[in-house]
Amino acid sequence: MKANKTLSSPQSNSNLLDGISVFVQVVQSKSFVNAAEKMNHSTSYISKEVSKLEARLGVRLLHRTTRTLSLTSEGEVYYQQCQQIIEDALQVESSISGRQQIPQGRLKLSCPVGIGVSRIRPVLAEFLAKYPKITLDIDLNDHKVDLVADGFDIVIRAAVQLEDSSLISRRFMNSTSLTLASPEYLKNHGTPMQPEDLVDHQMISYRNLKTPEIWHYTTKSGHKTQTHVTSRVSCNNSEMMISLCLAGQGIIRMPLFNLREEVESGKLIPLFEDLMPINIGVYLVYPSKKNMPAKLRCFIDFIMEKLGDS
């Protein structure tokens, strides 16, 4: 049985394309001198590149005299094929460059559940209608993902302050973190009057924080305090935490963008309103501004237009 013929690997043909563009330019320019001027090289460099190409192929491609330059029969065949290779390469480059300018392709996004449901979801239909060639791959997840390693184009993060990194971040929304309990919980367990009182209460903490059981507060005079709490429930999902809090099972601390309706309706009661509010920034985080694909650029612009400074 004959073995199937396979193409050589790129490593074994690392010099496969060497000299082709120089050879084609020489033929089109009809002289080494003209080709050297157009390619911004010396005439000797151009001549050596063609000679090396002929040596590698084992055929003469050009008839050279002091006054004329013409293709051999082998050179004519080779020139036609090389010209097609260059044209194909230019077409591929133009196509890729064009894709960078037209908003299209898959956009992979990671977003915390609460922000995704309360703020991003209401505007997504409009985004998809405006950019029909973009497909969305959305990961609603309260776990902090690795943007680069996990292959995301962009992530949305909420934090008092983002960690330093080489990533680009752009704040588009602000919120306030509140300490909250349901009326039922306060009726059954009493109302804590100051952060130190939390040690005697049932706490529902957000596990994805670096120190989920250390809650920081600042008085209006600027004095900073921290309280070590004991969690009855430790959870990595904001929706679950809200549900348990509404059911009277503990006290939570969470940004208001998840909870505006619950607070305004009185389903959840803010605590420690005499203390300074904790400001939370919501950020678009992405790898680089350089060579940004159109699909990412238009998503950033759209979110900034619809939700910026909200």
Query: Could you tell me the maximum CA-CA distance found in the chain, to the nearest angstrom?
Result: 104
Residues of the chain with CATH 3.40.190.290: 104-310
The amino acid occupying position 282 is V
Q: What is the CATH topology of the domain spanning 104-310?
A: D-Maltodextrin-Binding Protein; domain 2 (3.40.190)
CATH architecture type of domain 13-101: Orthogonal Bundle (1.10)
Q: pLDDT tens digit string along 55-97? A: 999 999 999 887 788 999 999 899 888 888 887 777 777 666 6
What SS3 class is residue 294?
A: helix
Predicted pLDDT of residue 68: 82
Separation CA 232–CA 249 (nearest Å): 9
Low-confidence residues of the chain: pLDDT under 70: 1-16, 94-100, 310
How big is the chain, counted in residues? 310
Nearest residue to 264 via CA among 163, 205, 178: 178
∠ CA 231-232-233, rounded to 5°:
85
Separation CA 229–CA 163 (nearest Å): 24
Predicted pLDDT of residue 66: 75
Q: CA separation (Å) from 71 to 81, 83, 120?
A: 14, 14, 63
Backbone angles phi, psi at 201, to 5 degrees: -125, 170
Predicted pLDDT of residue 192: 96
Predicted pLDDT of residue 298: 93
Q: How many C-alpha atoms does 51 have within 13 Å on its Cβ side?
A: 8
**Token reading at 253:** 């601390």
Residues of the chain with CATH 1.10.10.10: 13-101
∠ CA 110-289-106, rounded to 5°:
40
Contact 255, 157 (CB under 8 A): no
Q: CA separation (Å) from 292 to 54, 93, 103, 299?
A: 41, 16, 11, 11
Separation CA 176–CA 278 (nearest Å): 5
Around Cβ 34, how many Cβ atoms within 10 Å? Answer: 16
